[in-house]
DNA sequence: CCCGGCATCATCCGATCGGATGATGCCGGG
DNA sequence: CCCGGCATCATCCGATCGGATGATGCCGGG
C-alpha cells in the first residue's frame, strides 16, 4: 500500500462546515487538504490550480452553484472526482448533480469514518451513494409516476400551483384550454395522481416545484 | 470590562458541525467550550452539569429534538440562554423554538464574527435574530396569510394534498362535506389563496406539509 | 418508413368545487 | 357576560374540473 495521501479541496459557503471538514481531514491519517473555496467559481479555480484527487462540493452556494461548478470541472477535463455534500437525503439537486458528473454523495451528518471511506472511494473513482439516494435513483427508474415531466407540462403545473384556473393558464401560455387539460391529464398520469392538488403535492415531494 | 469568557455547550448531531463550531470558538478570545452533545437529551444533561452561559442548539436531532430540549431547559429553570442553530432561514421550526424559549437564532452559514457577536449578545440575554427570521416574525404578525392553521384545518389540507375529494375527506374525518368545505374556505383565507392546488403549494412553501 | 412522445385542438358531460349565506354550540380571554 | 375562534352543519348554484374520445402535425430514433 502506498502511503500517498488523498488530496482534497473543500468547497462550502458555510465557514463552520469548511472549518469542521478541514479539521477532520487534516487531523486524520492519509488526507491532505489543499484548499478551501466558498463558492463554485472559486472551487473550480482551486481545483485547476492544485489538481486535487477529490473536491468536496456543497450544492447550494451563492455565486456559482455546485451543479454548474461540477459541469465546469468536467468540461475542463480535470481529473479530480467530485463528492457532493448534502444536508438532507431528500435534496432535490442530487440527481442533476449526478448527471453533471459527480462521483458520489456525502451526507454532512455522516460519522467521521464514513467521510473517510467515502473520500477514499471517490479518489479511486468508485461511486459513493447513501442508501436513501440510491433508492431514490432506483425509484426514479421504475415504479409508477417515474417519467419526467416535459417542459410544457412543468409550465402548466407551475401555474396550477399558483391557483391559476385552466382558462387563465391557457391565456398565459397562448394555447387553448383543451391543450391545458390535455397536459394536465398527462401530468396526472406521470405523477400517479388524480387531481391538481395532489399533483402539486407530489411535485413538491420530488423537488419539481419549490 | 471583565475578561470572564463566555461558556458554551454545543449541541448538534452533525460531527462536522460540532467540530467546526468547537474549533472556531476554542481558538477565539473570550469563549470556553464546556462540552458537546449529539442530541437534545444529552444537551440538557450537559447544560445541567456544566451550567454554561449559552447552549448552541441544532433543531433537528435524532433522539430528542431541539424544541423539546429547549422546553426542558426552561422547565428546569437553568440560567443558560439557548441559541438555535439553523441551516436555512426558512426553517419551519424556528417559530416554535422561539415560543419554547430560545433567545435567538444563528444561521450555520454566518461568518465567524457574526457567530461571536451573536453568542456574546445571547449571553447577555439579548435576542438575536437574523433579518430574514425577524421579517418572517413580522409577516407572521400582520399581512395576508399569517394565521396558523388549526389542527382540523391541517387534517383537511393533508388529505387534500393526497388528492382526496371533499366527500371522502368528510368520510375519513367523520364530519359532513359541508364542514369540509367550511374548513377549506378558512384555509384559503388564511393562506391567501383561491383553490386547493394553491393551498397545497403554499403549505409546502411554509413547511406545513412535506 | 413507422412509431412513440410531445404539443396542439375540439366536443360532451357528469362530478366536484368554491362562494354566498346563515346557523348552532363550545370554550376561553377580557 | 360578551366576543372571537373553532368546529360543526345546511342549501343553493354557477364555475371549473377531469374523463372519454378522437384528431393533427412535428420530430427523432430504430
Q: Which of A193, A200, A202, A203 to mutate to test the interface with B (most CBs of B within 10 A)?
A: A200
Spell B52-84 as b/e; 16+ CB within 10 A means b: bbbbbbbbbbeebbbbebbbbbeeeebebbbbb
Domain boundary at A105, A140, A175, which? Answer: A140
Determine whether the interchain pair B15/A111 forms a contact, defined as Cβ–Cβ distance below 8 Å.
yes
Query: CATH no. for residue A177?
Result: 1.10.10.10
- Same domain (yes/no): B18, B118: yes
When divided into structural domains, chain B yields a total of 2
Cβ within 8 Å of residue B111, ≥6 positions away: A15
pLDDT (tens, 9 = 90+) of chain A, 210 residues, equals 456 889 999 999 888 889 999 999 998 889 999 999 988 888 999 999 999 999 998 887 765 567 778 878 876 767 888 888 877 555 556 666 665 667 777 777 777 888 888 888 888 776 666 555 554 544 443 333 345 788 999 999 999 999 999 999 999 999 999 999 999 999 999 899 999 999 999 999 887 887
CB contact at 8 A, A129 and A95:
no
Where chain B has pLDDT below 70, the residues are 1-3, 62-65, 75, 77, 88-101, 126-147
CA distance B66 to B88: 15
Query: CATH no. for residue B14?
Result: 3.40.50.2300
- φ, ψ of residue A43 to 5 degrees: the values are -60, -45
- Same domain (yes/no): A105, A172: no
- Same domain (yes/no): A34, A81: yes
- Same domain (yes/no): A36, A107: yes
Report how many helices (DSSP H) and strands (DSSP E) chain A contains, helices first: 10, 5
Asked if residue B210 is part of any domain, the answer here is no
Sheet order of strands, A104-107 included: A31-37, A6-11, A54-58, A81-86, A104-107
CA distance A205 to B210: 7
Q: What is the pLDDT of residues B115-144, one digit of tens each?
A: 888 888 888 776 666 655 554 544 443 333
In this complex, the residue of B87, B161, B163 whose CB is nearest that of residue A87 is: B87
Look up the domain containing A171 and give its range.
151-205
Asked if residue A37 is part of any domain, the answer here is yes
- Same domain (yes/no): A129, A167: no
CA distance B180 to B177: 5
In this complex, the residue of B23, B110, B199 whose CB is nearest that of residue A23 is: B23
- Same domain (yes/no): A126, A169: no
Asked if residue A200 is part of any domain, the answer here is yes
Amino acid at each position: 500500500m502506498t502511503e500517498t495521501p488523498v488530496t482534497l479541496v473543500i468547497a462550502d459557503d458555510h465557514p463552520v462546515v469548511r472549518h469542521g471538514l478541514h479539521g477532520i481531514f487534516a487531523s486524520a491519517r492519509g488526507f491532505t487538504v489543499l484548499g478551501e473555496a466558498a463558492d463554485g467559481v472559486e472551487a473550480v479555480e482551486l481545483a485547476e490550480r492544485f489538481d486535487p484527487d477529490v473536491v468536496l462540493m456543497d450544492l447550494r452556494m451563492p455565486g456559482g452553484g455546485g451543479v454548474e461548478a461540477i459541469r465546469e470541472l468536467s468540461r475542463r477535463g480535470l481529473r479530480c472526482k467530485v463528492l457532493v455534500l448534502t444536508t438532507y437525503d431528500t435534496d432535490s439537486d442530487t440527481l442533476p448533480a449526478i448527471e453533471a458528473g459527480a462521483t458520489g454523495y456525502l451526507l454532512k451528518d455522516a460519522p467521521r469514518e464514513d467521510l473517510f471511506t467515502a473520500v477514499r472511494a471517490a479518489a479511486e473513482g468508485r461511486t459513493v451513494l447513501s442508501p436513501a439516494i440510491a433508492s431514490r435513483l432506483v425509484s426514479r427508474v421504475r415504479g409508477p409516476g417515474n417519467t419526467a415531466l416535459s417542459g410544457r407540462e412543468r409550465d402548466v403545473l407551475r401555474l396550477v400551483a399558483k391557483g391559476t384556473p385552466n382558462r387563465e393558464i391557457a391565456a398565459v401560455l397562448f394555447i387553448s384550454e383543451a391543450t391545458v387539460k390535455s397536459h394536465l391529464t398527462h401530468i396526472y398520469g406521470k405523477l400517479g395522481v388524480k387531481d391538481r392538488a395532489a399533483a402539486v403535492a407530489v411535485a413538491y415531494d420530488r423537488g419539481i416545484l419549490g
